[in-house]
Amino acid sequence: MRKGSELPVLSLAAILLLSFSTHAAARDREFHAVMRHIESTYHARPNMRFLMWSIGMVVRVAHPEGVSRLRMAIFEHRNFSGIGDDRRFASVVEAALAEPRRRERPGPGWRLMVRSWSRRDNEQDYIYARARGKRLGLFIVSLEPDEAVVMELEANARALGKYLDDSR
């Protein structure tokens, strides 16, 4: 490559990266809202960020078991004491899943499938699902006294169902 011909290539790469990141940021609004709440309320940072990002990129390319999109954050070895007292957390998750114009309840298609709260173990779990044509979206949040997991995935509903049937 000639000296000086690197500028157009680098410019094109930067433009593509910026357009991809702004599109991804718009789609990840729900994920980031829940992440911000955990980070600010419990003063925790996710572990293995690069590894989780790498897994998400592999899923985008390889589509294992019909999964086309995966975002995940794991907060390990943190003190999440007071989770049981965080009654606001359910409203934070619902507000994150709401349409940008209507913040009072989950947006169209998002349905609460599982919500559990254990006083004894001080744990909270939420699973929301959304159907979009042939695609199924899942938004999963699990909070425990020493760790938290936030995961959002999108999969081909038929392929995911076949995988679940085969795993029995």
Asked if residue 4 is part of any domain, the answer here is no
Q: Does residue 10 fall inside a structural domain?
A: no
Domain membership of residue 140 (yes or no) is yes
> How many structural domains compose the chain?
1
What residues make up the domain containing 134? 28-166
Would you say residue 9 lies in a domain? no
Asked if residue 5 belongs to a domain, the reply is no
**Is residue 157 one of the residues assigned to a domain?**
yes
Give yes or no for residue 33 having a pLDDT over 70.
yes
Q: Please give the helix or strand (H or E) that residue 116 lies within, else none.
A: strand 111-118
Greater pLDDT, 3 or 98: 98
Residue 14 lies in a domain: no
68 falls in which pLDDT band (50, 70, 90)? Answer: confident
Q: Could you tell me which residue, 37 or 4, shows the higher pLDDT? A: 37
Q: Does residue 136 have a pLDDT over 50?
A: yes
Based on C-alpha coordinates, what's the Rg of the chain?
Answer: 19
110-129 pLDDT, tens digit each = 888 998 888 788 888 999 99
pLDDT of residue 85: 60
Q: Is the pLDDT of residue 80 over 50?
A: yes
Q: Given strand 135-143, what is the order of strands in its sheet?
A: 67-76, 147-156, 135-143, 123-132, 111-118
pLDDT at 6: 56
Q: Is residue 60 predicted with pLDDT exceeding 60? A: yes
Dist CA 106 CA 112 (whole Å): 9
The per-residue pLDDT for 146 is 86
Is residue 8 included in any domain, yes or no?
Answer: no
Q: What pLDDT sits at residue 139?
A: 92
pLDDT band at 168; cut points 50, 70, 90:
low
DSSP codes of every residue in 5-58: THHHHHHHHHHHHHHHHHHHHHHTHHHHHHHHHHHHHH----B-HHHHHHHHHH
